[in-house]
Every structure is written in C-alpha cells, then in structure tokens.
Amino acid sequence: MQVNESIEDYLEQILIQQEKNGCARSVDIATSLGVTKASVSHATKLLRENFYIHMDDDKCITLTESGREIAERMYQRHRVLAQFLVRLGVREETAFADACRMEHDISAETFSAICRHAEKGWK
C-alpha cells in the first residue's frame, strides 16, 4: 500500500478525532469525510494491515507511531496553510477547504517557505 491523498485524509481525520475523543470511530470518520461506512471499513482494513492504525476489540481506532507521524504532518500542513490563506484575505471556510487539498500537493520546500511567511506579515 502506498500512502496517497485518500490514505492521508483518513489518517488526519483519525488524529483529529483521537485528540478530541481519545479514539476514532468508523461512523464518525465516514461522516466527516463524506464517504460511506463501507469505504471507511475498507480503508481501515488497509491501514490496519499496514500498521498505521490499531483497532481494539470495541472498534476504537488509534494511530500507531507511523500512522501518527503522517497524520501529524498532514494536520500541521492543514493548519498552517489555512492560516496562511486567511492572512492573504481568504475567508476562513474557503481557506480550510482549500488547505485540505493543498496539504497533499506541496513539497517540503514549499511548505517550509510558507511556514516562514505564515507568521510574518506582508504588505
């Protein structure tokens, strides 16, 4: 399995829910990502087989070390990109939605350039 956009979205969403509730549930992942439970089930099976997540007996999903690493990277990108866009004058909602797609596309070099400017101001 290669880690692609879809997989990254699942991992990021699991992180968000895990931070909020202690663990993530399939049904909530489905709602947040706008996909069916069947799709989540399929994805979590893959993620489990490749040791990116752990699912305990009562279906509570948590990230493993390697899953968390990817999820944190995506979530950080998501937040920094959204903040950056807001400072460029984009409405918060649009910024968040666009950042959600951009986070998968940019190189480490571009991300660090954006990090440098997301905090500073510009004229």
Can you give the binding site for DNA, defined by CB under 7 A? 1-2, 4-7, 25-28, 34-46, 55, 59
User: Three-state SS for 24?
Assistant: strand
22 binds, among DNA, its own copies, none (CB under 5 to 8 A by kind): none
How far apart, in whole angstroms, are the C-alpha atoms of residue 37 and residue 81?
Answer: 29
Among 54, 55, 73, 98, binds its own copies (CB under 8 A): 98
Q: How far is the CB of 102 from DNA (least distance, A)?
A: 17
Residue 89 interface partner, choices its own copies, DNA, none, CB cut-off 5-8 Å depending on type: its own copies
| Contact flag: residue 97 with its own copies (CB under 8 A) | yes
Select the binding partner of residue 117 from its own copies, DNA, none (C-beta < 5 to 8 A, by kind).
its own copies
- For residue 56, which of 31, 8, 23 has the smallest C-alpha distance? 23
The answer to whether 90 and 27 have CB atoms below 8 angstroms apart is no
Degrees to nearest 5, angle at CA 106 with 36 and 69:
65
Task: Name the packing angle between helices 65-88 and 108-119 (round to 10°).
Answer: 50
> Angle at the Cα of 61 (from 56 to 41), degrees rounded to 5?
100
The verdict on 33 binding its own copies (CB under 8 A) reads no
The residues of the shown chain that bind its own copies, judged by CB under 8 A, are 85, 88-91, 94-95, 97-98, 101-102, 105-107, 109-110, 113-114, 116-117, 120-123
